[in-house]
Structure 1
Amino acid sequence: MDLIPRFQDLVAQVPEFVQPLIVALAGAVPFIEGEGAAVIGVIGGVHPVAAVLAGIAGNFLCVLVLVTLSSRTRSAIVSHRRSRAEARDVTLVGAGPGAHDESADENADVDAPESGRKTARWVKFQRALDRYGVPGVSLLGPLLLPTQFTATMLTASGVAARRVLFWQGLAIIGWTTLLGVVVGGVVHTVA
């Protein structure tokens, strides 16, 4: 599927006041993101400032939704595991010394990694997080992964949602502005 040409055609076909909305929609798509959306908008004829702002808005709103959902999901999972562990501890304490917890055997694979490949990726991400911190992973992440993936992984690893949103917002603003200015300058120079 050729998403970028389709977005460019769509931008060219809609009325001028709707064009930034198309750019914002493109900004919400992983791998296109704010940077790609700004480029699509500028090449499609949208004013560079409007294209950059729309790309930023679309990308950040998508990240905001994903971070909020993953933060709530993580909180629910951690709370559930904590209450399950507390219930297991109460059961073992009430059973007396030498009691064996059969439910622990039944649920032993709950925390086991799903596959070696996923585990390797997670370990690699954790190493990058330990080495560069949230600012580094957020600001350099768009070079390797879409911000939507990076933000979700940061939240899933336990980083506070506000902190993820702050650094992802800075990354989105920085990268989108940089590419929007470069492409806008090239388009202006060529025209």
Structure 2
Amino acid sequence: MISSVQEWALSLPWFLHWVGIMVLGAIPFVESYLGSIIGVLSGLSPFVAIPVAIGGNVVSMLAFVFGAHAVRGRVMAGREEDSLSPRKQKVKERFDKYGVVGVSLLGQLVLPSQITSALIVSFGAVRNRVILWQVISIVLWGLVCGVLAVYGINVFG
């Protein structure tokens, strides 16, 4: 899958190459970490690839957070909370244990930031706090993976 995505990014005209990486960063499961790696491996400067992958991921995450917040507000108006599915219950338990910070920073190991952030907001977390910690997480993951890609290219050629 990664090679076909790289080929797609390379097939774009040079002046649209960064737009392709931004679009990749917005896709759940690709996000800032794989987007920055693909950008670096496809020849973009890491000073361009990493920020645009992060930017695409942040924009996508914001859409999910604002959407989940709006839906939660409409659904919860005058209602009590329903029981959760086993999968959502597992995420809720982790949320209760680690809080917004822990789930934001470590949640990307399990689920995309878009899904994680929407779930956290649906559990009743403060929207702006979720946004802050998700942005921090997206930036950290994008930087770490992008820098590792740069060093990987330098080591393995």
Letter in 2 for 1:16: W
State the distance in 2 between where 1:17 and 1:160 align: 39
Percent identical: 30
Deviation per residue, 1:39-72 (Å, 9 max, x gap): 1111111111211101100111000001011101
Q: Which residue number in structure 2 is paired with residue 163 of structure 1?
A: 129
Aligned counterpart, 2:16? 18
TM, length-normalised to structure 1: 0.77
Q: Does structure 1 residue 65 correspond to structure 2 residue 63?
A: yes
Q: CA deviation at 1:21?
A: 0.8
Per-residue CA deviations over 1:64-98 (Å, capped at 9, x if unaligned) read: 0010111011111122xx1xx6xxxxxxxxxxxxx
What is the Cα-based RMSD across aligned positions, in Å? 1.7
Consecutive unaligned residues of structure 2, counting only runs of 5 or more, are: none
Correspondence list, 1:109-124, <5 A:
113=83, 119-124=85-90
Deviation, 1:20, is 1.1
| Alignment match, 1:33 | 31
- Residue of structure 2 equivalent to 1:55: 53
Match of 1:9 in 2: 7
- Higher-Rg member (1/2): 1
Kept in 2: contact 1:30–1:148 (CA 8 A):
yes
Please give the alpha-carbon distance, in whole angstroms, between the structure 2 residues aligned to 1:56 and 1:180.
10
In structure 1, what residue type is equivalent to 2:60?
C
- 1:189 Cα shift? 3.2
Structure 1 position 180, deviation (Å): 0.2
| Counterpart in the other structure of 1:182 | 148
TM-score, normalised relative to structure 2 = 0.93
AA in 1 matched with 2:115: F
In structure 2, the residue corresponding to 1:159 is in which secondary structure?
coil
- Distance, in Å, in 2 between the alignment partners of 1:32 and 1:148 is 11
Aligned residue among 86, 104, 108 for 1:138? 104
Task: Give the Å deviation of 1:184.
Answer: 0.8
Quote the residue 1:100 is aligned against.
Answer: none
Once residues 46 and 14 of structure 2 are traced to their aligned partners in structure 1, the CA distance between those partners, rounded to angstroms, is 13
**Which of 144, 150, 174 is the matching residue for 2:116?**
150
SS in 1 for 2:139: helix
